[in-house]
Amino acid sequence: MNRIYFDNAATTSLDPQVLEAMMPYLTEKFGNPSSIYSYGRESRLAVENARKSVAKILNAHPAEIFFTSGGTESSNTVITAAVRDLGCTHIISSPIEHHATLHTVEFLKNKGEAELSYVKVLPNGHIDMEDLEQLLASHEGKTLVSLMHANNEIGNMLDIHAVGKLCKLYGAIFHSDTVQTVGHFPFDLRNTPVHFITGAGHKFHGPKGVGLLYINENVRITPYIHGGSQERNMRAGTENLYGIVGFAKALEIATAAFEKESAYIGTLKLYMMDELKKNIKGVAFNGDPLGRSLYTVLSVSFPKTEKSEMILFNLDISNICASGGSACTSGADQGSHVIRAVNNNPNQVTVRFSFSKYNTKDEVDTVVEKLKEMI
Amino acid sequence: MLKLPIYLDNNATTPMDPRVLEAMLPYFTEKFGNAASRNHPFGWEGEEAVDYAREQVAKLIGADPKEIIFTSGATEGDNLAIKGVYEMYASKGNHIITAVTEHKAVLDACKHIEKLGGEVTYLEVKPDGLIDLAQLEAAIKPTTVLIAIMYANNEVGVIQPVKEISAIAKKHGVLFFTDGTQAVGKIPVNVNKDGIDLMAFSGHKMYGPKGVGAIYVRRKNPRVKVTAQMDGGGHERGMRSGTLNVPGIVGLGKACELCMLEMEADTKRISAMRDKLENALLKLEEAYVNGSKEHRLPHVSNISFKYVEGEGLMMGFNKNIAVSSGSACTSASLEPSYVLKALGLGDDLAHSSLRFGLGRFTTEEQIDYTIEQVSKTVLKLREMSPLWEMYKEGIDLNTIEWAHH
């Protein structure tokens, strides 16, 4: 039986074209990019071409693009640097951030390195902009604002320009975790008031183990991982050559097909919403699914019954892959911190469905059909 | 036909074993799940693969699978071990002992710790590259929390007396971390027999993929803890967050398994070729092996050819033979190797050195070609060298007073 994979916010399958682009660097082109002979030079060229390509797509300068081991490393790096290198004494974040952000800001707070405030989240999952401005205005020292561009569980999207402008007004440093949006939306970083963004290859049909860190040219930070002059002294460690090549290729493919694919995937999401509303009584949606929201993520709340409590288990039995929250916390019992922040209705069971270009309407039909039996 | 260029820089990175790639491929494509997805089979497949790899890695170094934490590579592992211990054991002390010949990842992490207010002792090494155990013991203070000495050096291949170091560490209740990047997979490393508390290593130095590595963190006698350097989803038992690089981890596991199975045969074959290469090149006048020949990795030979510029030497044949004059991480700079200088080499000898790093895919034919090419180039360069001419005329170059510009 064919599996249906509706968990693309957790990770995506590698595009075969990306693997093809990576293959030479998994085999004959294996040189260490720091070596000066031909094997090394061809590797160095591949890394720098990847950087240029990524920079061009995001409309950034190649010198602003750094490759890391993933989104988690990127977020850890810049949040820590904002405090230790840029002198931020206050962090504003939100309770619905990814744990890579939350655990890092909490760590800094617990160490006494920075004060921490959480901006209010509105019932529709968006950030309360007035509260954000108040928090910015009420603190004397330099502030880091760390707010994700799109939420991985409910799909809400931040108005990155509006937040960036506010940060500018108050002289704050602005980091946006863009792991769910890089490779899914166009970026124009030269005209976006943000200091740091992050990305992960495996969220847009690229490889795992490679990430992006954009550092605006106007800020200077020191490395997080020390030893070796890779990434222009910003990130030590032998470059994940094939991963970097794959990251760039995946971003190129995603960008070239953006309009077509975003429209297609968005249709799937809307179609699933409609079908669920038609077929399942009492179904509700978290966040702002028809407003500023990822076209890839649909967070659904089902009325809680004895049967529906087993919904994830039953979905799995039916070969349908979805998730209760983010993958990183899916083993934990305490439930999703994001859902708790936006929807504290104890009589609902939440499931996240997240789509990719490889999903179809037929799959949605099958899933809705199965869901009807499970509720 | 001999295919050029010949790759003799396996200390910088190794080609991936095709069997490793084969093991990885399914995890790029159909088995692409996030290993942390707990409620569907894509996730389970990923998790199972990671668990299996963890066993393969653990087995190679005689560890328990629970003691293996996957990282993005040895540099991250070095950073995690050193900074993680420094932070975790802050209440015990703030002093770390390391050696001047360590890899930059260790040295720079230590420098960072000095900036944070920690204290670091950098041990000198003897001319053979080994640390002095008496010096090590004398350097231990009540505030010492960690001894960080590499298993084997990346430039000269010298193997440190790890068992003796760990005995000293244990005697004084200090943790022992070793950067095992060059040793693991090449020579028998056993965390229990060797008394290692923490060890970092990476995939791409043992015919596995780049972008993945592991650290060993001892769980018993003593139970060692490190403060995570990457916070997030709590992966790797909270010690290292971030979506697991499943194909990379599968590749690392397979690479470890192959090293375990083939180490003995590989070592026999490779060391015979290394010795052949070394003996042939030492027939040239004024050629010296750097570092201990006795305590050395079986695939490495670092040789200085006096009165020849290393860079010129490399230019002579680097289109056809990929070797390095030092570590890859610093090879773009023209500074002489800090490792060789620490062994007591003057700038002249340090500048005239080549590191030959043989590997699993090195052939006899490649070695013969290398002997011929290197010998020819050394002789040719010396023919053109006024220093060589003076040396030949019996002038002691050290007595000459050079005109300063």
Per-residue DSSP letters for A322-345?
A: -BSS-GGGTT-SS--HHHHHH---
- CB contact (8 A) between residue B36 and residue A13: no
Residue contact B248–A208, C-beta within 8 A = yes
* Sequential DSSP letters for B248-311: HHHHHHHHHHHHHHHHHHHHHHHHHHHHHHHHHHHTSTTEEE-S-SSSB-TTEEEEEETTS-HH
Query: What is the per-residue pLDDT across B187-245, written as a single tens digit (0 to 9) for each?
Result: 999 999 999 999 999 999 999 999 999 999 999 999 999 999 999 888 998 999 999 99
Determine the pLDDT at residue B396: 79
**Nearest-CA distance from A194 to chain B in Å?**
22
In degrees, rounded to 5, the angle at the alpha carbon of residue B213 between the alpha carbons of residues B209 and B215 is: 160
Whether chain B has a CB inside 8 Å of the CB on A357: the answer is no
Q: Which of A76, A103, A227 is opposite residue B109, by nearest beta carbon?
A: A227
Q: What tokens does A196 get?
A: 């740091």
Task: Return the residue of A nearest to B7 by Cα.
Answer: A39
**Nearest chain A Cα distance for residue B26, angstroms:** 10
Q: Is the CB of residue A38 less than 8 Å away from at least one CB of chain B?
A: yes
**Euclidean distance between the first and final Cα of chain A, in Å?**
22
* Gap between the Cα atoms of B44 and A50, Å rounded: 32
What is Dmax (Cα atoms) for chain A? Answer: 67
Nearest to A30 among B15, B202, B243 (CB): B15
Give the pLDDT score at A331.
46
Cα-based distances in Å from A67 to A230, A238, B108, B211:
10, 11, 20, 11
In whole angstroms, how far apart are CA B171 and each of A174, B164, B195?
49, 11, 11
Q: What pLDDT shows up at residue A355?
A: 98
Name the strands in the sheet holding B287-289, side by side, starting at the edge strand that comes first in the sequence.
B287-289, B300-305, B353-357
Nearest chain B residue (CA) to A246: B28
Interchain proximity A207–B247, CB inside 8 Å: yes
Window 295-314 of B, Cβ < 8 Å to A: 314
Closest CA to B339 of B328, B145, B73: B328
Phi and psi at residue A66, in whole multiples of 5°?
-125, 140
Residues 249-288, chain A, touching B (beta carbon < 8 A): none
Packing angle, helices B18-28 and B246-282, rounded to 10: 160
DSSP string, B302-339: EEEETTS-HHHHHHHHTTTEE-BSS-GGGTTS-SPPHH
| Average pLDDT, rounded, for chain B | 94
Q: Which amino acid is at A22?
A: M
Look at residue B327 and tell me whether its pLDDT is greater than 70: no
* Contact: B29, A13; criterion CB under 8 Å: yes
pLDDT tens-digit profile of A6-19? 999 999 999 999 99
Q: Which residue type does B378 have?
A: V
- Note the pLDDT tens digit of each residue in B241-258: 999 999 999 999 999 999
Backbone φ and ψ for A61, nearest 5 degrees, come out as: -90, 140
E strands in B124-209: 144-148, 175-179, 198-202
Instruction: List all residues 6 or more positions away from B138 whose beta carbon is below 8 Å from its beta carbon.
Output: none
Of chain B, the end-to-end C-alpha distance in Å amounts to 50
The residues of chain A scoring below 50 in pLDDT are: 331-333
Give the position of tokens 């529906």: A308
Q: Which amino acid, one-letter code, is at B312?
A: G
Listed range (B13-17, B121-125, B333-337) with the worst mean pLDDT:
B333-337
Minimum Cα–Cα distance from B21: chain A residue: A26
Whole-number Å distance between alpha carbons of B34 and B32: 7
pLDDT digit string (tens) for B86-140? 999 999 999 999 999 999 999 999 999 999 999 999 999 999 999 999 999 999 9
Q: Which residue in the set B210, B244, B247 is minimally distant from A239, CB to CB?
A: B210
What 3-state DSSP class applies to A320? strand
Q: Is the pLDDT of residue B404 over 60?
A: no
B377 touches chain A (CB under 8 A): no
Q: Hey, are the CB atoms on A229 and B330 less than 8 Å from each other?
A: yes
ipTM of the complex: 0.90
In the structure, what pLDDT confidence band is assigned to residue B334 with cuts at 50, 70 and 90? Answer: low
Question: Per the structure block, which two tokens stand in for B204?
Answer: 């791409």
Q: Which of B110, B256, B259, B329 is catalytic?
A: B329
Between the alpha carbon of residue B373 and those of residues B319, B354, B380, the distances in Å are 11, 13, 10
Residue in A19, A8, A15, A74 with CA at minimum distance from that of residue A245: A19
What are the backbone angles phi and psi of residue A249, rounded to the nearest 5°?
-65, -45
The residues facing B305 across adjacent strands are B287
pLDDT for the residue A155: 97
**Residue A228 and residue B104: Cβ atoms within 8 Å?**
yes
Beta strands in A243-337 (DSSP E): 284-285, 297-303, 320-321
Least confident span in A220-229, B7-16, B179-188: A220-229
- What would the pLDDT profile of A219-272 be if each residue is shown by its tens digit? 999 999 999 889 988 999 999 999 999 999 999 999 999 999 999 999 999 999
Q: Say yes or no for a CB contact (<8 Å) between B105 and A34.
A: no
Query: Which residues, numbered 203 to 232 in chain B, qualify as contacts with chain A under a Cβ-Cβ cut-off of 8 Å?
Result: 204, 209-212, 229-232
* Residue A13 DSSP code: P
